[in-house]
Structure 1
Amino acid sequence: MSLRIVVCVKYVPDATGDRGFTDELTTDRESVDGLLSELDEYAVEQALQIAESADDAEITVLTMGPEDANDALRKALSMGADKAVHVDDDDLRGTDVFGTSLVLARAIEKVGYDLVVCGMASTDGVMGVLPALLAERLGVPQVTLLSEVSVADGTVTGRRDNDAASEELGASLPAVVSVTDQSGEARYPSFKGIMAAKKKPVETLDLEDLDIEAEQVGLAGAWTAVEDATERPARTKGEIVTDEGEGAKQLASFLAERRFI
């Protein structure tokens, strides 16, 4: 039986652009270019490696977002994923991570899965809680923040590294995993892969397809909200310290005044 892998990816504002908020204090996605979240590229890469080591596997990339989010799906397809699912509905605008987890979980159940692979966090929200929320909604184990991951004999295993130690973890399938940016460099799409991606199927779903009411998502259904935001001040000219024997003391004093030490 084919190993069904679903990779959750996100279309995010380019971090090098001038990002801001709308009047509703949601992320302004129209004033800056978007792209596939870099941290999700690692998830796609690990899914591809798992599929390559399996006898039979199929990779579906899944995203939730506006029409432009198709660009993120096409990037993942050009890397080697087999098909894509795009949840697109006007009522999703302003959805927080809790609503997002509901939408993605319903879509994952509809698609069918054995393994769900996520990045460690999105590069815009940087919350890192979506994999855990997905696992809870799906009622399956989670094995998160892995720098190595593999699947064999109905079990997913991996290594989680931290400052003090490394842990070997595992769970029976079906399961949700997330991988870090230390899991291995993501491959670049080849020209052949880019051309092939244009012919791969992309299914579009809306809230009705997932049996979700509009009130459960969007700004109205959000459990969290940004109450205030202040524009970052313009960068000021730095202070130059001329070292005439007292440079180290001046530097230490500068850092201490700003509570860096």
Structure 2
Amino acid sequence: MKALIAVKRVVDANVKVQVKSDGSGVDIANVKMSMNPFDEIAVEEAVRLKEKGIVTEVIAVSCGDAKCQETLRTAMAIGADRGILVETSEELQPLAVAKLLKALVEKEQPQLVILGKQAIDDDANQTGQMLAALADLPQATFASKVELAGDKLNVTREVDGGLETISLSLPAVVTTDLRLNEPRYVTLPNIMKAKKKQLDTFKPEDLGVDVKPRLKTLKVSEPPKRGAGIKVPDVATLVDKLKNEAKVI
């Protein structure tokens, strides 16, 4: 079984981003970049399936500029066998990424496609669902457990009321939630090995995909600062303020 894993290069989760002065976006100049945490979970799950003998090859895919090679090398250090970079300087929106991944799914013919449920930069939570729709594949989102049962894939997913287990026919698309696994620590020997692994580069036009943005960001702004709290003398005053000032009840 071949597994295709999508990984995205994002601002490191520990960095506090700043909005640009013109409100056009977030300033990412000279900030630490890392693999999207949900994608790291996706790579880890694929590697674990390979270690169990279920998956035979793990292919990591990233879309973006040349710096995304660092993210792919990290994925290969975790255990991916090879990497594919779709290199472009265009701003990539979820639909464009889904189209690129669909083209690679048709090219590589994987039986399993795993993505993080969302990226921590735009929080769109769209790419996996769009890919499944475009490629006409069954999907399981927010996966907290993945098991192969014969020719079916059983996925336990988190829903508002608790847990839901669904059975998918392969090939299929799965998006990962935080509780699926804990990614391993990447060791120096594996980082060195990753530098020798195969990394292929394509352009969007090589895959026949138009990645021009369809959405325009009008303004980016920081959330308003939270006001200071106050003390109230009794429950009646609290209820009155919640009802007449905060208007939440």
Could you state the TM-score of these two structures normalised by the residue count of structure 1? Answer: 0.83
Cα deviation 1:201-248 (Å, max 9, x = unaligned): 111110222122xxx3233xx1x2222233445x5773464x8xx266
Q: Which residue of the partner structure matches residue 4 of structure 1? A: 2
Q: Which residue of the partner structure matches residue 58 of structure 1? A: 57
Q: Give how far 1:53 is off.
A: 1.6
Q: Which residue of the partner structure matches residue 162 of structure 1? A: 159
Cα deviation 1:102-132 (Å, max 9, x = unaligned): 1221123223311000111111111212111
Q: Give how far 1:33 is off.
A: 2.4
Structure 1 vs Structure 2 CA RMSD = 2.5
Selected match of 1:198 from 184, 195, 199:
195
Q: Give how far 1:249 is off.
A: 6.0
Distance 1:248 1:40, change over 3 A: farther
- 2:76 is equivalent to residue 77 of structure 1: yes
Give distance in 2, aligned partners of 1:53 and 1:21. Answer: 47
Distance 1:38 1:56, change over 3 A: closer
8 Å Cα contact 1:51/1:58 also seen in 2: yes
Give distance in 2, aligned partners of 1:63 and 1:84. Answer: 8
Alignment gaps of 5+ in structure 2: none
8 Å Cα contact 1:156/1:170 also seen in 2: yes
Q: Which moved more, 1:128-137 or 1:18-27?
A: 18-27
Give distance in 2, aligned partners of 1:103 and 1:56. Answer: 23
Cα deviation 1:111-158 (Å, max 9, x = unaligned): 331100011111111121211110111121111111100224332111
Query: Which AA in structure 2 matches 1:126?
Result: D
Query: Which AA in structure 2 matches 1:128?
Result: N
Selected match of 1:99 from 83, 96, 100:
96
Give distance in 2, aligned partners of 1:17 and 1:157. Answer: 38
Q: Give how far 1:96 is off.
A: 1.5
Q: Which residue of the partner structure matches residue 119 of structure 2? A: 122
Could you state the TM-score of these two structures normalised by the residue count of structure 2? Answer: 0.87
1:1-261 correspondence runs (5 A): 3-15=1-13, 16-20=15-19, 25-54=24-53, 57-90=56-89, 93-212=90-209, 216-219=210-213, 222=214, 224-232=215-223, 235=225, 238-239=228-229, 241=231, 246=233, 257-259=245-247
Aligned-residue identity in percent: 28
Distance 1:250 1:117, change over 3 A: same
8 Å Cα contact 2:42/2:176 also seen in 1: yes
Query: Which AA in structure 2 matches 1:230?
Result: S
8 Å Cα contact 1:13/1:19 also seen in 2: no
Give distance in 2, aligned partners of 1:171 and 1:14. Answer: 33
Query: Which AA in structure 1 matches 2:228?
Result: G
8 Å Cα contact 2:95/2:130 also seen in 1: yes
Give distance in 2, aligned partners of 1:10 and 1:103. Answer: 13
8 Å Cα contact 2:19/2:220 also seen in 1: no
Alignment gaps of 5+ in structure 1: none
Q: Give the 3-state SS of the residue equivalent to 2:19 in structure 1.
A: coil
Q: Which moved more, 1:249-258 or 1:34-43?
A: 249-258
